[in-house]
């Protein structure tokens, strides 16, 4: 775990860095767990609603699958990989603030069965590259 200007970056994760997506992906037994990264949740402020997809829904790399609201602002949630939703974090219906309190843990949003994992992972930033990117994001936000 690395702290970049106060924002946590986990080296084992992959980050979707298109526009202001700020989405993490974690490969677990061939599946991909995903949520909002620490920088993303901090910029949003307290999350009050998360609209989850349904299990079985198809998702596409860098395309929205849901919506999140914080501070009277809605924002699209983007999928880090293409595939099918196999699990959703239903706890977020009652406790959306888990996205803020534990963005990389209890605040996860979806689990995806990927259909094109190797190719999609090449579009995500990982390790040192993710840390460098986070530094740039933090710099822009100052």
Nearer to another protein, 69 or 113 (CB): 69
- Is residue 72 within the footprint of another protein (CB under 8 A)? yes
Cβ neighbours for 97, distance < 8 A, ≥ 6 positions apart: 46, 47, 48
Strand 125-126, strand 14-16: pairing: antiparallel
Q: Does 28 help bind another protein (rule: CB under 8 A)?
A: no
Least distance in angstroms from the C-beta of 113 to another protein: 25
Among 1, 6, 19, 54, binds another protein (CB under 8 A): 19
What 8-state DSSP symbol labels residue 142? -
CA distance 126 to 62: 16
- The dihedrals phi and psi of 109, each to the nearest 5 degrees, come to -115, -50
Whether the Cβ atoms of residue 60 and residue 138 lie closer than 8 Å to each other: no
Q: How far is residue 55's CA from residue 58's CA, in Å, rounded to a whole number?
A: 9
Residues 29-68 that bind another protein (CB under 8 A): 40, 42-45, 48-49, 51, 64, 67
Q: Among 26, 27, 31, 69, which residue sits at the site for another protein (rule: CB under 8 A)?
A: 69
The footprint of another protein on residues 83-142 (CB under 8 A) is: 137, 140-141
Residues of this chain that bind another protein (CB under 8 A): 18-20, 22, 40, 42-45, 48-49, 51, 64, 67, 69-76, 137, 140-141
């Amino acid at each position: 775990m690395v702290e970049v200007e106060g924002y946590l970056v986990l080296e084992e994760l992959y980050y979707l860095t298109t526009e202001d997506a700020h989405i993490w992906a974690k490969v677990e037994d061939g599946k991909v767990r995903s949520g909002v990264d620490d920088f993303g949740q901090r910029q949003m402020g307290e999350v009050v609603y998360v609209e989850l997809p349904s299990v079985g829904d198809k998702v596409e790399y860098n395309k929205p699958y849901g919506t999140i609201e914080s501070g009277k602002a809605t924002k699209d949630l983007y999928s880090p990989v293409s595939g099918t939703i196999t699990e959703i974090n239903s706890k977020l219906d009652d406790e959306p603030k888990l996205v803020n309190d534990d963005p990389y843990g209890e605040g996860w949003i979806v689990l995806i069965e990927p259909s094109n994992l190797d190719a999609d992972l090449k579009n995500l930033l990982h390790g040192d590259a993710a840390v460098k990117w986070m530094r740039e994001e933090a710099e822009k936000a100052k």
